[in-house]
């Protein structure tokens, strides 16, 4: 069993200490005002935004340690890993979502609802997709068992959604998290502070039993589950992790020799024990693991873990991010071209190429790769949103119609992408469609926990939109959410 290459440890600095980061979240002038820009100033404003973003990449990074990580390829695989288990649990495919949290400790948890949160540190510590599936089965057991970890106050700090399709700082500056994200963030922080409440032993064994049942029904071997839990236990023994923040999973899900022995007995007599794990899922797991590492780790660490003599897809993926973060654009592009040479129709390779070009200030060149990636994935929202972003960044008004179309399609399928709302606001603003620009701003602001601005924009939008139209109804909805957020904030104070 190989040791995982360590991800960068969470920095000790609290994430809101950067005065710049704080001002971005609280004053709202940067992201909030932009969508209303008419045609001519759009150019200047984009320039301002890019300059601002460049500044933020440096300034916000220390604060960007914990956020929800969103990436189309990663989410597709995690969904595929959880779906058969959800079905085995009597739920629909797609009913249970897996949300990835940027946190280097090894943990996974549920907060309530049908979402399983897993830390990037867990992906990094896992060697196989089957190991991750074992954890998902166990967490699903907590969901179906109705085991909820109670968590106290402390919810209310701004939180973020980071898109892997954007360099860290830019996304952190512009994006916020939804309601569920809030709970997750607060919970993650409490886990780090050691005030986390663990599941009881009874709940643990019931989740184990349920997880084993789901794996069995889905015909998936429990070997990965066992190796992963044993690995965690070994870490504890070897490094005395129990008192350390890295012991996240072990503390929230107390491990014991009894539990493991019981699991082993259950798994070994299962018909699926000797079923080989899915080779395609394993191949894709190695890709997303490397991709996350490249995105999250320091470039020097990535280049150590994936030196240039490694020429497989995972290594090239990881290095492309490392070079991109170092602004070694030619090297980053060489890696993406090598990937595309292996499979020209892989939408995620094309997405990465588009990202590198777009973020290097070459949006026009990014268009064909991103348009193709959008087509190949049948408008996967995160990829379509990146394409929409590139279309707008060309500052060519003839692209606005296409941008509006892809961005509308993106947010219709996936509302939790504040950056897509932001881009959509830019398009409406450029077209002079002020009410819809205001509505898009309101959508982005409500997600970023800026209820004052969201309320103002939603009310203005409501006055300008045709009474009773879907957009008008949506404006009423957002205004209502904003008022609820404001009331909750009042009650806390
Ligand atoms: Zn558990």
CA of 170 to the centre of ligand 1 (A): 35
CA of 394 to the centre of ligand 1 (A): 48
- pLDDT tens readout for residues 77-136: 999 999 999 999 999 999 999 999 888 888 888 876 788 989 899 999 999 999 999 999
CA of 229 to the centre of ligand 1 (A): 11
d(CA 386, CA 71): 11
User: CB of 418 within 8 A of CB of 444?
Assistant: yes
CA of 190 to the centre of ligand 1 (A): 17
d(CA 476, CA 479): 5
CA of 12 to the centre of ligand 1 (A): 27
pLDDT computed for residue 55 by the predictor? 35
CA of 379 to the centre of ligand 1 (A): 36
Report all structural domains of the chain as residue ranges with CATH numbers, in order of start. 29-63+415-493 (no CATH), 68-268 (3.30.2010.10)
Tell how far CA 470 is from the center of its chain. 29
CA of 337 to the centre of ligand 1 (A): 42
CA of 392 to the centre of ligand 1 (A): 45
Q: What's the mean pLDDT in 371-393?
A: 95
What is the chain's alpha carbon radius of gyration, rounded to the nearest angstrom? Answer: 23
- pLDDT tens readout for residues 159-172: 456 777 666 433 33
CA of 142 to the centre of ligand 1 (A): 7
CA of 134 to the centre of ligand 1 (A): 11
pLDDT computed for residue 47 by the predictor? 43
Mean pLDDT (the chain) is 78
CA of 216 to the centre of ligand 1 (A): 18
DSSP for 106-173 reads: --EEE-STTEEEEEHHHHHH-SSHHHHHHHHHHHHHHHHTT------S-TTS---EEETTS-HHHHHH
Task: Give the predicted TM-score (pTM) of the model.
Answer: 0.78
319's tokens: 């290095």
CA of 252 to the centre of ligand 1 (A): 7
Contacting residues for 29 by C-beta, under 8 A, at least 6 apart: none
- pLDDT tens readout for residues 309-341: 999 999 999 999 999 999 899 999 999 999 999
H or E element at residue 93: none
Q: What's the mean pLDDT in 189-203?
A: 53
d(CA 452, CA 57): 27
- Does position 416 have pLDDT exceeding 50, yes or no? yes
- pLDDT tens readout for residues 24-53: 222 222 232 233 333 334 444 444 444 434
Residues linked to residue 163 through DSSP beta bridges, in sequence order: 70
pLDDT computed for residue 149 by the predictor? 57
CA of 141 to the centre of ligand 1 (A): 8
Binned at pLDDT 50, 70 and 90, residue 444 comes out as confident
Highest mean pLDDT among 160-164, 232-236, 241-245, 268-272: 268-272
Comparing 240 with 99, the larger pLDDT belongs to 99
d(CA 186, CA 32): 25
d(CA 114, CA 100): 14
CA of 263 to the centre of ligand 1 (A): 13
Q: Most distant CA pair in the chain: distance in Å?
A: 70
CA of 288 to the centre of ligand 1 (A): 24
CA of 286 to the centre of ligand 1 (A): 25
d(CA 98, CA 79): 7
CA of 338 to the centre of ligand 1 (A): 42
d(CA 117, CA 136): 9
d(CA 220, CA 218): 6
Binned at pLDDT 50, 70 and 90, residue 233 comes out as confident
User: CB of 339 within 8 A of CB of 150?
Assistant: no
């Amino acid at each position: 069993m190989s040791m995982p290459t360590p991800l960068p440890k969470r920095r000790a600095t609290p994430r809101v200490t950067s005065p710049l980061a704080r001002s971005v979240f609280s004053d709202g002038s940067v992201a909030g005002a932009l969508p209303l820009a008419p045609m001519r100033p759009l150019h200047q404003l984009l320039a301002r935004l890019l300059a601002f973003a460049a500044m933020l990449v440096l300034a916000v990074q220390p604060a960007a340690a914990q956020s929800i990580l969103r990436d189309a390829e990663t989410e597709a695989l995690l969904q595929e890993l959880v779906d058969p288990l959800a079905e085995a649990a009597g739920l629909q495919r797609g009913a249970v979502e897996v949300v990835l949290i940027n946190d280097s400790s090894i943990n996974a948890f549920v907060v309530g609802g049908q979402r399983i949160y897993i830390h990037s540190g867990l992906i990094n510590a896992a060697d196989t997709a089957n190991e991750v599936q074992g954890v998902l089965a166990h967490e699903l057991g907590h969901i179906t068992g109705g085991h909820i970890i109670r968590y106290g106050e402390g919810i209310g700090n701004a939180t973020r959604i980071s898109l892997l399709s954007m360099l860290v700082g830019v996304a952190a500056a512009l994006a916020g998290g939804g309601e569920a994200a809030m709970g997750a963030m607060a919970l993650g922080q409490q886990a780090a502070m050691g005030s986390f409440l663990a599941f009881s032993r009874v709940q643990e064994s019931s989740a184990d039993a349920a997880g084993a049942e789901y794996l069995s029904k889905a015909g998936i071997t429990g070997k990965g589950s066992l190796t992963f839990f044993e690995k965690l236990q070994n870490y504890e023994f070897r490094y005395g992790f129990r008192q350390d923040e890295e012991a996240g999973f072990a503390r929230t899900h107390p491990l014991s020799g009894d539990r493991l022995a019981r699991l082993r007995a259950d798994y070994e007599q299962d018909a699926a024990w000797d079923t080989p794990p899915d080779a395609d899922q394993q191949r894709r797991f190695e890709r997303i693991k490397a991709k996350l590492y490249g995105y999250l780790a320091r470039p020097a660490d990535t280049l150590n873990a994936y030196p240039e003599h490694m020429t497989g897809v995972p290594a090239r993926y990881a290095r492309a991010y490392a070079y991109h973060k170092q602004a070694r654009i030619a090297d980053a592009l060489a890696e993406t071209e090598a990937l595309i040479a292996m499979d020209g129709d892989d939408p995620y390779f094309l997405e990465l190429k588009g990202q590198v070009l777009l973020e290097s200030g070459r949006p026009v060149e990014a268009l064909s790769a991103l348009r193709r990636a959008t087509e190949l994935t049948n408008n996967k929202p995160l990829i379509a949103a990146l394409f929409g972003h590139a279309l707008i960044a060309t500052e060519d008004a003839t692209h606005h119609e296409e941008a509006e179309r892809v961005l509308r399609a993106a947010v219709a399928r996936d509302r939790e992408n504040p950056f897509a709302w932001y881009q959509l606001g830019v398009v409406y603003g450029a077209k002079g469609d002020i009410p819809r620009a205001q509505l898009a701003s309101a959508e982005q602001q409500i997600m970023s926990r800026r209820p004052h601005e969201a309320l103002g924009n939603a009310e203005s939008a409501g006055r300008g939109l045709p009474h009773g139209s879907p957009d008008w109804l949506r404006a009423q909805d957002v205004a209502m959410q904003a008022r609820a957020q404001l009331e909750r904030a009042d009650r806390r104070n």
